[in-house]
Structure 1
Amino acid sequence: MSAVNTTPGTPVSAGASPAPARRDAEATKTAILRAARHLLARHAHADITLKAVAERAGVSPPLVLKYFGNKDALFARVMSFEEDAAALLDAPVEDLGRHMVRHVVVGQRERGADPVLRIAFAPLHGDHGDILRANFRTQVTERLAARLGGPDARLRAELALATLIGLGVMFGIARGEELRALSVEEIVDRYGPTVQAQLGSWQGCSAPGRDG
């Protein structure tokens, strides 16, 4: 009996079991979302077509419609940071700086992008850029601030994320040669404490100009 083709976007034969079919569907959805994120990081939303997404994902345009309905529904999903934030912040607070750095660098090195860095391209997208910014604030910044607690939690979250995004831009966009020559753990060892320092408490001190 011939093997079942499980390439994303290729129909599975009628005799195949449901489990491989479900796995194939998830792989196809993942490929489509990855393609849409890649294009959104490089082009204005209005310039991206479903055909371009499908070609990038290696599937047919009807499959994009099957899984996401239309372009607006697809990009509503792409513009959400909910799942990305869950992975980015999945570590104890005392080790969060190192974890966040590792997450961004591994994403860049293994997948060529980190979804959180989409916020750097918000100015390209007009009204959709406003959606990206609002989602980033509520789903990433405020979620991180809630994890931190204490004085100036929101400010500390913003500073830590600014530090992290700067690393991602230098690694993945500016492609700093010396930085990219380091191993993941070397980058984590050198840069993790920098992010962690921004996450830390100011030990009750007020920010300049806030104590009247």
Structure 2
Amino acid sequence: MTTPASGAAAQPEACATGPARRDAEATKAVIIRAARHLLARHAHADITLKAVAERAGVSAPLILKYFGNKDALFARIMSFEADAEALLDAPLDELGHHMVHHLLTGQAEHGADPILRIVFAPLHREQGDILRANFRTQVVDRLSERLDGPDAGVRAELAVSTLLGLGVMYGIARGQHVRGTPIAEIAERYAPGVQVFLTP
């Protein structure tokens, strides 16, 4: 008698917490996207939680609930850890093509690519130094560790520089010819220039 009842009670509880957890994660992702959008356009000191909340379509107290305070939120925004994991998620001999395609797809589908946040580091004064340090360790150094042969550090920096140049033209300067060309074609043309530094 008790077993069916307890089983019936457990099932709704699992269903209730599952969607709630997904909703919380989705809301956090929206807040992070809003903060990244603002960070790419304004100095860190000029961005308020109210502005992030308005951009995300949530309340400022909800941001405090999920992240604690503005500094904690932007510490998360200034990390490249998850972004680098996605950017570098390919075998080394295919990595150049993957990086180019990943960057352009992010620009086309989301209007921005998290890696390009480094371009705006000069806007953010001391927070810009944190952004630069994170970028070097989490993106460039991580790539360098994957490279074989001599001068891995220089080659990693050149590969990332080449990629960022394309990102600036596509997403910031919004070059009409680059943006008017299919991503697959741009990747085929551009990826060898990145790959030459990865597997010379």
TM-score by length of 1: 0.86
C-alpha displacement of 1:172: 0.4
Say whether 1:148 aligns with 2:147. yes
1:193-204 paired onto structure 2 within 5 Å? 193-201=192-200
**Cα distance in structure 1, aligned partners of 2:149 and 2:36:** 34
SS at match of 2:58: coil
* Aligned: 1:185 with 2:187: no
Contact kept in structure 1, 2:92 and 2:199, CA below 8 Å: no
> Is the 8 Å Cα contact of residues 97 and 199 (structure 1) preserved in structure 2?
yes
| Rounded Cα–Cα distance in structure 1 between residues aligned with 2:191 and 2:125 | 33
- 1:85-140 Cα distance to aligned partner (Å, 9 max, x none): 00000000000000000110010000110000000000000000000000011000
Amino acid at match of 1:116: I
Partner of 2:93: 94
Q: In the alignment, what sits opposite 1:66?
A: 65
Quick one: distance in 2 between partners of 1:181 and 1:101?
A: 16
Post-superposition offset of 1:50: 0.4
Whole-Å Cα distance in 1 between the matches of residues 149 and 34 of structure 2? 39
**TM-aligned CA deviation for residue 58 of structure 1:** 1.0
Shift of 1:31: 0.3
Structure 2 match to 1:52: 51
| Structure 1 unaligned residues grouped into runs of 5+ | 1-13, 202-212
- The separation in 1 between residues aligned to 2:122 and 2:82, in whole angstroms, is 22
Q: Which has the higher contact order (CA 8 A, sep 6+)?
A: 2
CA apart distance, 1:197: 1.2
CA contact (8 A) 1:156 1:200 kept: no
Equivalent in the alignment of 2:165: 166
Q: Which runs of 4+ in 1 moved over 2 A?
A: none
**In 2, Cα distance between equivalents of 1:33 and 1:168:** 21
- Alpha carbons 1:157, 1:199 under 8 Å: kept: yes
Using structure 2 for the length normalisation, give the TM-score.
0.91
Sequence identity percentage = 71
Distance in 1 between the 2:134 and 2:148 partners? 20
Q: Distance in 1 between matches of 2:33 and 2:112?
A: 9
Unpaired runs of 5+ residues, structure 2, are 1-12
Q: Which structure shows the bigger proportion of residues in helix conformation?
A: 2
